[in-house]
């Protein structure tokens, strides 16, 4: 099993999870982070660090595996991030909103580290 990043991360990208990952399996998009499922060692240290509860075990994914697919696809094209960066300036305005992926997700890569 792996961990996956889900909807609450969109437009927040707080990055508390990045600095605790022992294998640097996070990848950065413009307004979202993903975990590379082939690199994740299922240690779970990132999950409690996420202030918006966006990181879940793969076993908690939607029935169609939506989030595993998203994390897999974008971890192949976005740059790796292994240092906590600054959250998005307007992240507080989006915290707690539902269905952010469908409304705000950007395929653009982030800066990486």
Burial class (CB in 10 A: 0-12, 13-18, 19+), 14: buried
Instruction: Say what the pLDDT of residue 85 is.
Output: 87
Which pLDDT belongs to residue 25?
Answer: 96
> Could you read off the pLDDT of 57-93 as tens digits, one per residue?
999 999 999 999 999 999 999 999 999 888 888 999 9
Task: Indicate if the pLDDT at residue 52 is higher than 90.
Answer: yes
Q: How high is the pLDDT of residue 87?
A: 85
This prediction has a pTM of: 0.93
Cβ–Cβ < 8 Å for 65, 6: no
The pLDDT assigned to 43 comes to 95
Instruction: Supply the pLDDT for residue 1.
Output: 82
**27 vs 86, residue with greater confidence:** 27
Q: Are the C-beta atoms of 71 and 37 separated by less than 8 Å?
A: yes
Q: Which burial class, exposed, middle or buried, applies to 22 when counting CB atoms under 10 A from its CB (0-12, 13-18, 19+)?
A: exposed
């Amino acid at each position: 099993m792996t961990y996956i990043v889900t909807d609450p991360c969109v437009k927040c990208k707080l990055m508390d999870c990045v600095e605790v990952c022992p294998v640097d399996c996070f990848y950065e998009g413009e307004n979202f982070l993903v975990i590379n499922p082939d690199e994740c060692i299922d240690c779970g240290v990132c999950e409690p660090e996420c202030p918006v509860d966006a990181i879940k075990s793969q076993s908690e994914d939607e029935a169609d595996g939506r989030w595993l697919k998203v994390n897999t696809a974008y971890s192949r094209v976005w740059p790796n991030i292994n240092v906590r960066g600054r959250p998005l300036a307007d992240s507080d305005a989006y915290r707690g909103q539902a269905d952010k992926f469908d409304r705000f997700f950007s395929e653009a890569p982030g800066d990486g580290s």
